[in-house]
Amino acid sequence: MNKRIFLSAPHMSGNELKYIEKVFESNYIAPLGEYVNKFEDSIKDYTSCENALAVTSGTAAIHLALRVLGIGAGDDVLASTFTFIGSVNAILYQGANPVFIDSDKESWNLSPILLNKYLCECEKKPKALVITHLYGQCAEIEKIVDICRLHGVYLIEDAAESLGAIYKGKHTGTFGDFGIYSFNGNKILTTSGGGMLVSSNKDWIEKAKFYSTQAKEPFIHYEHLEYGYNYRMSNVLAAIGVGQMEVIEDRVLKKREIFEWYKEFLSDIEEITFMPELENSRGNRWLTALTFEKADYNKVMKALEEVNVESRPLWKPMHMQKLFENSKSYLDGTSEELFKKGLCVASSTTMTKDDVKMICEVIKKVL
Ligand SMILES: Cc1ncc(COP(=O)(O)O)c(C=O)c1O
């Protein structure tokens, strides 16, 4: 049996262990230390965001953003329905109510038309929107920023999957009031687990730092007026992040190359449609995502599993989850259709063109 090909396996640059050794030499194992600052600086340099805070996960970063924005019990918060639950769990942590908006066909991401319609019609104005740039592909972010500004809704960009994705020359995560990135094990970069909160508002990032370190008031003894969290990233994990950031552009280019290989080998199959890319944008193609017009993707998954290759259905929309059966949603059927027909295929940056060719041959045999 061939070695398993994963959807998106960790891919070290080679320098991570060296940096971890430096952390050990300094004995700043935890909680903070120079690599946390270095990792934050590398994200700032790469994305041109002004302020960054390294935390334990992307979910923690979203939670901090909502807390700093004062979103609490009973508030409505809009969210992409076509996303991973990590995008919306923090809305529940704050006791707020998620309201799900459907995708459009042009981007597979949240539809600006539906968003605007909902905001014009709704009786209760939502406080914020958490929008996902799905599978590393850009949402119609400029239009969405304008709509949020018009209606006085805070914007949190969930760029967990889209580090390195650029819309009109600007990185995803840097358009909204806050942006977040994830360094979970399967992301384009990984620290084994981790996240980053970014914002152009320095005071907000300072406040988020305060909450992420147990909300300690500035006294020598421990004084508390508010509750906080233990969400700060450790120096050891940040050292991995620094090593990973040295190869971020290589990883984006490789992910995009893998996507092009899939297109090349499957171009003659009419029933396959690939996730689109908006004009004036460069997604990171974190996972190559496609739909089958007629074929049952379960059969494709099974055939791939038989040759030890991982694949996964597209995210099941949040409004279809039992957990959210009582939540409001504003839909036109797009995400349900995508979920019915779609699959993510293996997109690990360690893959070769021959790996992709083999996967495509297996897919073609099933069709
Ligand atoms: C779209 C999206 N949002 C949020 C998250 C949560 O990130 P984390 O796993 O770092 O908490 C993830 C990934 O895990 C994700 O894919």
Torsion of CA 338, 342, 345, 349, to 10 degrees: 0
292 has which bridge partners? 272
Q: Does the C-beta of 13 come closer than 6 Å to ligand 1?
A: no
Q: Which domains does the chain have, with CATH numbers?
A: 16-245 (3.40.640.10), 248-366 (3.90.1150.10)
Q: Which of 127, 187, 209, 255 is catalytic?
A: 187
Q: Does the C-beta of 86 come closer than 6 Å to ligand 1?
A: yes
Interval between CA 4 and ligand 1 midpoint (Å): 23
Q: What is the pLDDT of residue 30?
A: 73
Interval between CA 222 and ligand 1 midpoint (Å): 33
Q: What is the pLDDT of residue 32?
A: 80
User: How far from chain centre, in Å, is Cα 207?
Assistant: 23
79 has which bridge partners? 100, 130
* Dist CA 133 CA 177 (whole Å): 15
- Consecutive H or E run containing 7: none
pLDDT tens digits, the chain, 367 residues: what are they?
679 999 999 999 999 999 999 999 998 887 688 999 999 999 999 999 999 999 999 999 999 999 999 999 999 999 999 999 999 999 999 999 999 999 999 999 999 999 999 999 999 999 999 999 999 999 999 999 999 999 999 999 999 999 999 999 999 999 999 999 999 999 999 999 999 999 999 999 999 999 999 999 999 999 999 999 999 999 999 999 999 999 999 999 999 999 999 999 998 999 999 999 999 999 999 999 999 999 999 999 999 999 999 999 999 999 999 999 999 999 999 999 999 999 999 999 999 999 999 999 999 999 9
Q: Does the C-beta of 132 come closer than 6 Å to ligand 1?
A: yes
| Tokens (6 digits) for 77 | 């918060």
Q: What is the pLDDT of residue 33?
A: 87
62 CA closest ligand 1 atom index: 4
Task: Name the residue with the closest Cα to ligand 1, atom 5.
Answer: 86
What's the full length of the chain, in residues?
367
Q: What is the pLDDT of residue 364?
A: 96
Interval between CA 60 and ligand 1 midpoint (Å): 10
134 CA closest ligand 1 atom index: 1
Q: Are 313 and 342 in contact (CB under 8 A)?
A: yes
Q: What is the pLDDT of residue 277?
A: 98
Indicate the DSSP class of residue 30: S
Q: What is the pLDDT of residue 223?
A: 94
Q: Does the C-beta of 59 come closer than 6 Å to ligand 1?
A: yes
| Strands 128-132 vs 76-80: parallel, antiparallel or unpaired | parallel
Q: Give the tens place of pLDDT for each residue, 337-356.
A: 999 999 999 999 999 999 99
Q: Does the C-beta of 160 come closer than 6 Å to ligand 1?
A: yes
Half-sphere exposure of 77 (CA within 13 A, CB side): 33
Q: How would you class 14 by CB atoms within 10 Å of its CB: exposed for 0-12, middle for 13-18, buried for 19 or more?
A: exposed
Q: What is the pLDDT of residue 271?
A: 96
61 CA closest ligand 1 atom index: 11
Q: What is the pLDDT of residue 176?
A: 98
Q: Does the C-beta of 100 come closer than 6 Å to ligand 1?
A: no
Q: What is the pLDDT of residue 172?
A: 98
Sequence letter at residue 255: K
Is 187 in the active site? Answer: yes
Q: Does the C-beta of 182 come closer than 6 Å to ligand 1?
A: yes
